[in-house]
Amino acid sequence: MAGEEFVISSGREFRITEKPAFSLDTTLRGGTPASVSVTASYSDGAGGWTDATADVYPSTSTSVSGNVITMPQAVLTGQSGRVVRCCCKYTAGGSVWDDVVCVFEVMA
């Protein structure tokens, strides 16, 4: 619909007013995750990334159920035209992992 904004992620569209929450299964990384944190970044358009965690994740509270991490809801209001990268850092299987969970562009 004209005038509405969407987020494109892995072929899916989200309305800008929606707050998508992404999940990550850590089974192949060694099981139950601990010390979980999330970050978000904006692309600077030149191959670099600028911290956007406070904008995208006002709440950085994650939940863990077995081997699945559910990240907090992403807030996308006012981010039209930006490319956003969401990452999740955690410990599993005796190693520290810092996975890029999704990258999407907020469309006008």
Q: Is residue 90 part of a domain?
A: yes
For residue 81, the model assigns a pLDDT of 79
Q: Is residue 108 part of a domain?
A: no
Cβ–Cβ < 8 Å for 87, 69: no
Q: Is residue 105 part of a domain?
A: no
| Threshold 0.85, pTM exceeds | no
- Give the torsion through C-alpha atoms of 16, 82, 68, 26, to 10 deg: 160
Alpha-carbon span 17 to 62, nearest angstrom = 21
Cβ–Cβ < 8 Å for 108, 85: no
DSSP 6-64: EEEETTEEEETTS----EEE-GGGTSS-EEEEEEEEEE-SSS-EEE-HHHH-S----EE
Alpha-carbon span 42 to 28, nearest angstrom = 28
For residue 17, the model assigns a pLDDT of 72
Q: Is residue 27 part of a domain?
A: yes
The tens digit of pLDDT for each residue in 57-78 reads: 998 899 999 999 999 998 888 7
Number of domains in the chain: 1
Range of the domain at 34: 6-95
pLDDT-derived band at 14, boundaries 50, 70, 90: low
The tens digit of pLDDT for each residue in 82-106 reads: 888 899 999 999 999 998 888 877 7
Q: Is residue 54 part of a domain?
A: yes
